[in-house]
Amino acid sequence: MPDGAATFFDADLTALDPNGSLFRLDVYSPYPLSNGELSYLQTEFEAEMVAYARRLSASTRSWRWAAAIGLLDLIVLAGLLLFAVVNADRSFLIFAWAFAVALLPGPLIAINLFSHRRRTARARRLLQASFVSAGIGQGGAGSSYMNAIWEAVEHSSRDRDILTLERLCRINNWAAGLRFYRSRRGGRSRAHRHRRPGLLRALLGRRRPRYASSIVSRGL
């Protein structure tokens, strides 16, 4: 950061799945961290994860009920349209739009809930997920990204503005760092955005990634 340092989390909450095993938080830092600092970071992440899972599992309803309603709505709509077409009295056809308005949302809601059933099941599993103690990340891509950007920052004589740091991440192909600096440049953390997913995205079952909010400290 231009005026200090920040810790951000790279794990996408919507993709986390304990699958019966324990989570471990690997922390990559240019400086050695004590156990207290590691547990502080782990609690921050765990709190966000549980809040996300709890919110999602509390706001979602059983897709089976929605599927039953949607299916019956569809059958009734088909029956009414068929009746209006084959009946000698065609006055029923005038109300075809009303049939569609009243009976089409049911199947659409059912498709939406059905496409999100895996996400909901994952969120319910997250509520029971446990962590082992957080540890220092050793080696791997995370370590190399971290070392590359800190070396560049420490050897750079220019000001450390967000755009420069973002460019450094782009040069190093560090997607998580790029995303973080973009969110800081946008003036607010993307992790806090509560945008309702678009209808098409919801119908196709695409998920919007969610990240835990970052911790910012100032003046190194």
Segment interacting with another protein, rule: CB under 8 A, options 128-136, 147-155, 179-187, 198-206:
128-136
Closer Cβ to another protein, 6 or 152, answer by number: 6
Q: What is the DSSP string of 85-96?
A: HHSS-GGGGGGH
What is the radius of gyration, based on Cα positions, of the chain? 25
Instruction: Give how far the C-alpha of residue 14 lies from the chain's centroid of Cα atoms, to the nearest Å.
Output: 4
Closer Cβ to another protein, 61 or 193, answer by number: 61
Q: Which of 17, 8, 9 is nearest to 53 (CA)?
A: 17
Segment interacting with another protein, rule: CB under 8 A, options 75-83, 138-146, 169-177, 202-210:
75-83
103 in contact with another protein (CB under 8 A): yes
Residue pair 172/149 in contact by the 8 Å Cβ criterion: yes
Contacts of 155-161 with CB under 8 Å at 24 or more apart are 159/2, 160/1, 160/2, 161/2
Report, in Å, the least distance between residue 184 CB and another protein.
15
Residue carrying the six token digits 């549980």: 50
19 in contact with another protein (CB under 8 A): no
Closer Cβ to another protein, 48 or 166, answer by number: 48
Quick one: which of 15, 24, 30, 79 contacts another protein (CB under 8 A)?
79
Residue pair 89/18 in contact by the 8 Å Cβ criterion: no
Amino acid letter for position 41? L
Applying CB under 8 A, what is the total number of residues that bind another protein? 61
150 in contact with another protein (CB under 8 A): no
Give the three-state DSSP class for 16. Answer: coil
Residue 156 and residue 131: Cα distance in Å, rounded?
Answer: 38
217 in contact with another protein (CB under 8 A): yes
Q: Interface with another protein by CB under 8 A: which residues?
A: 4-7, 33-37, 39-40, 42-44, 46-48, 50-51, 54-55, 57-62, 65-66, 68-69, 72-73, 76, 79-80, 83, 87, 92, 95, 98-99, 101-103, 105-106, 120, 124-125, 127-128, 130-131, 133, 215-220
